């Protein structure tokens, strides 16, 4: 696995672990959901630079996540949202 040079957290879970919710700031986070992508509201308070997620999700679910993380580069099922203008 190349997660060491990714410089972030790379996990495969069915829901976001409490240890993640306890963090204030994350440089890179990659979550591979075993089924549906479920992002709890309290994650919105975490400052995340780049957040990748994989799993089943509706368009409404994607819109909600994009609104929750306006300053995060989001990659949902390999599609990029909120890309920073360089």
Neighbours of 30 (CB within 10 A): 17
- Give residue 82's pLDDT: 82
- Give residue 16's pLDDT: 96
d(CA 63, CA 86): 23
| pLDDT tens sequence across 22-60 | 999 999 999 999 999 999 999 999 999 999 999 999 999
d(CA 86, CA 67): 21
- Give residue 26's pLDDT: 95
């Amino acid at each position: 696995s190349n997660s060491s040079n990714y410089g972030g957290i790379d996990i495969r879970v069915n829901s976001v672990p409490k240890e993640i919710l306890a963090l204030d700031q994350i440089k890179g986070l990659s979550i591979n959901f075993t089924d549906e992508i479920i992002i709890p509201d309290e994650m919105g308070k975490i400052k995340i630079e780049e957040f990748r997620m994989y799993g089943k999700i509706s368009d409404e679910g994607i819109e909600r996540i994009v609104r929750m993380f306006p300053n995060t580069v989001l990659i949902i099922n390999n599609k990029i949202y909120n890309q920073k203008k360089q």
